[in-house]
């Protein structure tokens, strides 16, 4: 008898990751109460081992004690289960298979989900629990046809259970991809109107590989043994495929091996993805002990090594995890656990990553080239980072997620932004809210953007992003917040956006307001640039606003800097103060009192003798002493007298009989001018 073991023995990646993590965690937290939500995998031996260690299987969240730890099964659960655990005060460790998690992400974003799989399976029920909208579940091509023909105006996103039969999935996929449009109506190959369907390939690669290999094995063997739990979906699929080609049996352990195996010359042996290595070893050893004429395809095979190698089969295009052996100047050696040694060019690590890397570290990479002759595998970390980044961008696009990236280049027509190690092109029209933005100023900046277009055509990937959509959304939200709470007298920290001859426009958090030139300073200014410049951060106060026209008037003047508040602290009526002549008028001269306040020296208060023309005595720029003879805080006017500071002289009789003009001074108007 010749025994031919599969190259895919034992756990798949997802199961191996879950089991390794679980047992390591419970060893580290021996004193903590632990549970698994449902069987962690479909394998009774593993469940029994966990029970012996005090890890109970629960399907009811209320059975988990607050403060305990719950391991989420590899089949995954809906988000509602995770939320319920949080609300109960229970910590959980999500061991959901990454391939299953991907389907959950699709379900959360699809308006209508078309699930291909067994609705009774925990993986499927968990995915449907996360469905964003309506869903349908089918297991046959006829059921699929019935659904898509039922409501031709409804569109679906079609996914499959990770362990679904590959042959049947391909048949369903081919049916959908053959849809065509006739007279504006989408129809199938029977010309029956159907719903549009977007197909997502979600069968696990490991499942697919095992199914393909067992079919090939069954065609070339007289008998096939499938080892695995009979409740395991992927184990049952392998058995169904094998028995369609040749006699086969499915066993959970060595005790179930049939007695008639010696009748067959060539026996193939494969396992489900949840079958432990110890079970496989027992089956092989039993067959060898009970049948002395059993020969393995490779003599003196080291079963443990073969099992380990089955988990780390290096194939071009595969993602693989290994252990760092030697960190060299030009390359990093990676032990893959099989007959090959991997190498990653050191240039694919940043200086910080390379400095921190040490022997024993786990590293994940992409298989670029395999040399069986040299026993080496060329790996790429950069390629894997790019692939992971692309997958994240795909998910981000589906979820309308906002991403963060760095502007790396300014190119013709736009920007190149690196997001998750992937180049994203942002057209100039989508780079900013303002058309006149200088793109060069954005180089090196960290920006927030959305992926709006994504195509993956082999090596060529087309990814378009929009910074503008994020900025607009943020601006709209900020504006709504401002208009909900704005009120006269409220203060804001703003940024000067632009200047005009009549004032400065200030952004107060998504909304622009105008600070008129007269509200920039208490003193008279000719242009806003005398006080502020573009980009300045200033505190402004709301002076007035109109919700209908969406206009806001702001002021930059501070109340405690009001010269009419400062004046009484410095001067009072009767004080003689130095002044500078600012302007000559027919009826008198305006002079400076303090910055922001001018006063009037009436023509009758300029000298002891009669003055016919102000310019005969004073000129602009003269510095003289004047006495404050009146301050009117209501009208904000000051009257001064130069005459009162001069020595008394005899006044002509005719002058005494003349009634003196009213001695008043007028403050500058809002625009800085003085009323006559």
Q: Where are the domains of the chain?
A: 8-97, 99-199, 205-310, 319-383, 400-464, 486-557, 563-657
Q: What is the mean pLDDT of residues 152-159?
A: 92
Query: Catalytic positions, please?
Result: 123
CATH of domain 563-657: 2.40.50.140
Sort strands 295-296 and 2-5 into parallel, antiparallel or unpaired.
Answer: parallel
Cα-based angle 67, 71, 76 (whole degrees, multiple of 5): 130
Average pLDDT value for the chain: 85
Question: End-to-end distance of the chain based on CA atoms, in angstroms?
Answer: 122
Segments in 399-467 forming alpha helices (H): none
Name beta bridge partners: 598: 592
**HSE toward the beta carbon, residue 599, CA cutoff 13 A:** 30
Q: Write down the pLDDT at residue 141.
A: 95
Cα dist. 445→405, 410, 418, 428, 442 in Å?
8, 11, 11, 15, 5
- Percentage of the chain beyond pLDDT 90 is 39
The pairing of strands 422-427 and 414-419 is antiparallel
pLDDT at 295: 58
Tell me the pLDDT band of 340, cut-offs 50, 70 and 90: low
HSE-up of 468 (CA within 13 Å, CB side)?
A: 17
Least confident of 446-455, 523-532, 559-568: 559-568
CATH number, domain 486-557: 2.40.50.140
pLDDT recorded at residue 101: 86
pLDDT band with cut points at 50, 70 and 90 for residue 125: very high
* Token pair in block for residue 347: 């240039």
Judge contact between 179 and 155, C-beta under 8 A. Answer: no
How far apart are the C-alpha atoms of 324 and 353, rounded to whole Å?
A: 13
pTM, two decimal places = 0.46
Q: What's the CATH architecture for 205-310?
A: 3-Layer(aba) Sandwich (3.40)
CATH classification of 319-383, choosing from 2.10.260.10, 2.30.110.10, 3.40.50.300, 2.40.50.140? 2.40.50.140
CA distance 619 to 621: 6
Q: d(Cα 72, Cα 64) in Å, to the nearest integer?
A: 13
Pairwise CA distance, residues 524 & 182, whole Å: 76
pLDDT value for 151: 87
Comparing CA positions, the residue from 172, 166, 161, 154 lying closest to residue 110 is 154
Per-residue model confidence (pLDDT) at position 373? 47
Q: Is the pLDDT of residue 227 over 80?
A: yes
The residue among 313, 314, 312 whose CA lies nearest residue 369 is 314
- Decide if pLDDT at 638 tops 60: yes
CATH architecture label of 99-199: 3-Layer(aba) Sandwich (3.40)
Looking at per-residue pLDDT, the higher value among 237 and 652 belongs to 237
Higher pLDDT, 149 or 313: 149
- What is the rounded average pLDDT of the residues 414-429? 88
The pLDDT-based confidence of 372 (bands split at 50, 70, 90) is low
CA 156/CA 136 separation, integer angstroms: 9
| 542-562 pLDDT, tens digit each | 999 988 888 999 988 877 778
pLDDT (average), residues 206-214: 80
List the beta strands (DSSP E) in 284-327: 295-296, 319-327
Question: E strands along 372-490, which residues?
Answer: 376-380, 403-411, 414-419, 422-427, 446-457, 460-466
The per-residue pLDDT for 339 is 54
Provide the pLDDT for residue 144: 95
The pLDDT of residue 41 is 84
pLDDT grade for 37, boundaries at 50, 70 and 90 = very high
pLDDT at 667 over 70: no
The string of pLDDT tens digits covering residues 380-413 is: 998 888 888 888 888 888 888 898 999 988 898 8
pLDDT at position 672 is 41
What pLDDT is attached to residue 308?
A: 52
The per-residue pLDDT for 659 is: 42
673 phi, psi to nearest 5 deg: -85, 170
Are domains 205-310 and 486-557 of this chain identical in fold? Answer: no
pLDDT band per the 50, 70, 90 thresholds, residue 484: confident
Segment 580-610, tens digit of pLDDT: 999 999 999 999 998 888 899 999 999 988 8
Alpha helices (H) along 29-78: 44-52
Average pLDDT rounded to a whole number, residues 171-189: 92
What is the pLDDT, as a whole number, of residue 291?
Answer: 63
Place of tokens 């301050």: 631
- Identify the pLDDT of residue 673: 40
Instruction: With cut-offs at 50, 70 and 90, classify the pLDDT of residue 202.
Output: confident
User: What is the average pLDDT across 606-615?
Assistant: 90
SS3 614: helix
Beta bridge partners of 466: 450
Q: What are the DSSP calls for 91-122, one per residue? A: EEEE---HHHHHHHHHHHH-SEEEEES-TTSH
pLDDT at 509: 82
If one compares 122 and 436, the residue with the highest pLDDT of the two is 122
The pLDDT of residue 650 is above 50: no
Per-residue pLDDT at 514 exceeds 50: yes
CATH architecture assignment, domain 400-464? Beta Barrel (2.40)
Lowest mean pLDDT among 189-193, 297-301, 514-518, 553-557: 297-301
Which of 535, 484, 479, 548 lies closest to 510 in space, CA to CA? 479
Give me the pLDDT at residue 196, please. 94
Banded pLDDT at 521 (limits 50, 70, 90): confident
Whole-number pLDDT of residue 226: 95
Q: What is the pLDDT of residue 375?
A: 59
Q: What is the CATH number of domain 8-97?
A: 3.40.50.11270
Q: Which residue has the higher pLDDT, 284 or 136?
A: 136
């Amino acid at each position: 008898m010749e025994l031919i073991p599969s190259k895919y023995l034992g756990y798949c990646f997802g199961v191996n990751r879950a089991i390794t993590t679980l047992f390591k965690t419970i060893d580290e937290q021996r004193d903590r109460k632990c549970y698994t939500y449902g069987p962690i995998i479909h394998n009774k031996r593993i469940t029994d081992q966990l029970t012996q260690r005090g890890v109970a299987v629960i399907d009811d969240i209320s059975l988990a004690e607050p403060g305990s730890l719950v391991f989420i099964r590899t089949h995954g659960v809906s988000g509602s289960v995770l939320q319920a655990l949080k609300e109960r005060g229970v910590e959980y460790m999500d061991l959901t298979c990454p391939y299953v998690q991907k389907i959950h992400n699709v379900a959360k974003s699809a308006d209508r989900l078309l699930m291909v799989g067994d609705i009774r399976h925990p993986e499927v029920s968990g995915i449907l629990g996360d469905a964003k909208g309506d869903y349908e579940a089918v297991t046959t091509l006829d059921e699929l046809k019935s659904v898509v023909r039922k409501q031709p105006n409804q569109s679906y996103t079609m996914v499959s259970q990770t362990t679904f039969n590959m042959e049947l999935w391909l048949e369903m996929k081919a049916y959908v991809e053959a849809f065509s449009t006739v007279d504006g109506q989408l129809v199938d190959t029977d010309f029956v109107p159907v719903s549009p369907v977007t197909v997502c390939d979600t069968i696990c690669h490991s499942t697919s590989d095992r199914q393909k290999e067992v079919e090939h094995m069954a065609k070339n063997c007289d008998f096939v043994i499938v080892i695995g739990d009979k409740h395991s979906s992927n184990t049952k699929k392998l058995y169904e495929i094998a028995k369609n080609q040749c006699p086969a049996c499915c066993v959970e352990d060595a005790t179930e091996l049939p007695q008639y195996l010696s009748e067959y010359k060539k026996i193939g042996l494969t396992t489900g993805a949840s079958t432990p290595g110890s079970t496989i070893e027992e089956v092989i050893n039993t067959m060898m002990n009970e049948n002395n004429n059993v020969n393995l395809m490779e003599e003196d095979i080291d079963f443990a090594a073969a099992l380990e190698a089955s988990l780390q089969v290096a194939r071009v295009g595969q993602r693989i995890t290994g252990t760092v052996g030697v960190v060299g100047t030009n390359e990093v050696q990676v032990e893959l656990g099989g007959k090959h040694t991997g190498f990653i060019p050191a240039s694919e690590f940043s200086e910080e990553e390379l400095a921190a890397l040490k022997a024993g570290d786990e590293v994940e990479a992409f298989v670029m080239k395999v040399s069986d002759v040299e026993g080496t595998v060329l790996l790429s970390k950069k390629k894997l980072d790019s692939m992971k980044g692309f997958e994240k961008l795909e998910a981000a696009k589906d979820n309308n997620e906002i991403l963060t990236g760095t502007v790396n280049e300014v190119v013709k027509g736009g920007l190149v932004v690196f997001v998750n190690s992937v180049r994203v092109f942002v057209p100039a029209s989508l780079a900013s809210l303002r058309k006149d933005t200088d793109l060069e100023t954005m180089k090196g900046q960290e920006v927030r953007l959305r992926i709006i277009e994504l195509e993956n055509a082999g090596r060529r990937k087309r990814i378009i992003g929009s910074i503008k959509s994020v900025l607009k959304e943020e601006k709209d939200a900020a504006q709504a917040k401002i208009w909900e709470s704005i009120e006269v007298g409220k203060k804001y920290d703003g940024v000067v956006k632009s200047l005009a001859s009549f004032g400065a426009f200030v952004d107060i958090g998504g909304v622009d307001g105008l600070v008129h030139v007269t509200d920039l300073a208490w003193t008279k200014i000719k242009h806003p640039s005398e006080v502020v410049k573009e980009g300045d951060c200033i505190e402004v106060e709301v002076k007035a606003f109109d919700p209908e026209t969406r206009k806001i008037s702001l002021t930059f003047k501070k109340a405690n800097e009001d010269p009419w508040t400062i004046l009484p602290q410095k001067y009072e009526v009767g004080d003689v103060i130095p002044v500078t002549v600012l302007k000559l008028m027919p009826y008198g001269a305006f002079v400076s009192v303090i910055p922001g306040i001018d006063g009037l020296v009436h023509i009758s208060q300029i000298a002891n003798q009669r003055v016919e023309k102000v310019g005969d005595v004073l000129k602009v720029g003269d510095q003289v002493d004047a006495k404050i003879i009146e301050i009117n805080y209501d009208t904000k006017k000051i009257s001064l007298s130069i005459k009162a500071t001069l020595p008394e002289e005899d006044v002509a009789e005719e002058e005494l009989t003349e009634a003196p003009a009213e001695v008043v001074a007028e403050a500058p108007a809002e625009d800085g001018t003085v009323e006559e």
